[in-house]
């Protein structure tokens, strides 16, 4: 597979290994803004969550579409004063979220994150009650249940890769942003932690190959033609007339 693109991704280097050059991946980015009602992917907290804008644990929700399947990501951030640059991490699993919380917060905060929310209206030690471990688990479980549910989106756009995201912009609860970028770069999302270089290249190559040469439908064959194909005639399952015996 030969990749034609104006950017470099982490799996591009495999092209040097002498692969089939007759298949071309024209990797052109196309960005599409979405409305709330047209964003089809699983969302942390349900249909209209606002709590990922929390100053305690800000997050951006991302969904990577890769060769017919979707993979959820939460980009978590944490800033510890007096540091001016926050620590960021791309979390692909619940274990990744656990590791981020364990590495950036104090024991009491970690215990609150892992506990069940208390009754509404009760304070929970400076931790957003909607950003509990069980909420993160629900998000990853919902994404796993729908991993194969967006096949048509790949086919309609003739691409093996897309990245969808939703986030809040600014500090005072502005309108939520939604977008999907087809043929997006995956290196910045550290997707190589999930699918390594060679496997990524091979999966893209196989997926594009299948799109370029889809299986042809088997034509319907009538019963009469099938009898002829099998070498039978009209008397094969009947008794011959006495005159022909």
Q: Is the pLDDT of residue 20 over 60?
A: yes
Structural domain count, the chain: 2
> Which helix H or strand E contains 75, and what residues bound it?
strand 69-78
- Tokens 């550290």 locate to 190
Please check whether residues 170 and 235 belong to one and the same domain: no
Whole-model pTM?
Answer: 0.78
Task: Using pLDDT thresholds of 50, 70 and 90, give the confidence band for residue 30.
Answer: very high
Please check whether residues 141 and 237 belong to one and the same domain: no
Residue 26: strand, helix, or coil: strand
Nearest 10 degrees: Cα torsion 102, 108, 113, 118: 170
- Residue 216 has a pLDDT of 47
Q: What is the pLDDT of residues 168-204, one digit of tens each?
A: 765 555 567 889 999 999 999 999 999 999 999 999 9
Residue 107's Cα: distance from chain center in Å? 33
Q: What is the pLDDT of residues 201-243, one digit of tens each?
A: 999 999 998 887 655 444 555 566 555 545 555 555 555 555 5
Domain extent, residue 229, equals 1-27+199-245
Q: What is the pLDDT of residues 74-107, one digit of tens each?
A: 999 887 766 667 789 999 999 999 999 999 988 8
Please check whether residues 17 and 122 belong to one and the same domain: no
């Amino acid at each position: 597979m030969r990749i034609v693109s104006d950017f470099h991704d982490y799996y591009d280097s495999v092209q040097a290994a002498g692969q089939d050059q007759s298949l071309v991946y024209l990797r052109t980015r196309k960005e599409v803004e979405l409305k709330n009602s047209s964003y089809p992917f699983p969302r942390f907290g349900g249909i209209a969550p606002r709590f990922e804008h929390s100053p305690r644990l800000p997050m951006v929700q991302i969904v990577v579409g890769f060769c017919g399947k979707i993979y959820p990501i939460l980009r978590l951030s944490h800033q510890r004063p007096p540091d001016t640059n926050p620590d960021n991490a791309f979390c692909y699993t619940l274990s990744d979220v656990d590791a981020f919380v364990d590495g950036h917060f104090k024991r009491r905060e970690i215990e609150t994150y892992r506990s069940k929310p208390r009754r509404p209206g009760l304070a929970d030690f400076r931790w957003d009650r909607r950003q509990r471990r069980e909420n993160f688990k629900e998000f990853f479980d919902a994404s796993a249940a729908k991993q194969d549910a967006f096949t048509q989106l790949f086919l309609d756009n003739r691409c093996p890769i897309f990245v969808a995201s939703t986030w809040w912009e600014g500090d005072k609860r502005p309108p939520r942003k939604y977008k999907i970028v087809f043929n997006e770069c995956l290196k910045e999302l550290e997707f190589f932690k999930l699918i390594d270089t060679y496997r990524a290249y091979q999966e893209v190559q196989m997926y594009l190959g299948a799109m370029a040469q889809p299986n042809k439908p088997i034509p319907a064959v009538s019963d009469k033609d099938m009898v002829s194909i099998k070498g039978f005639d009209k008397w094969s399952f009947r008794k011959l007339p006495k005159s022909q015996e």
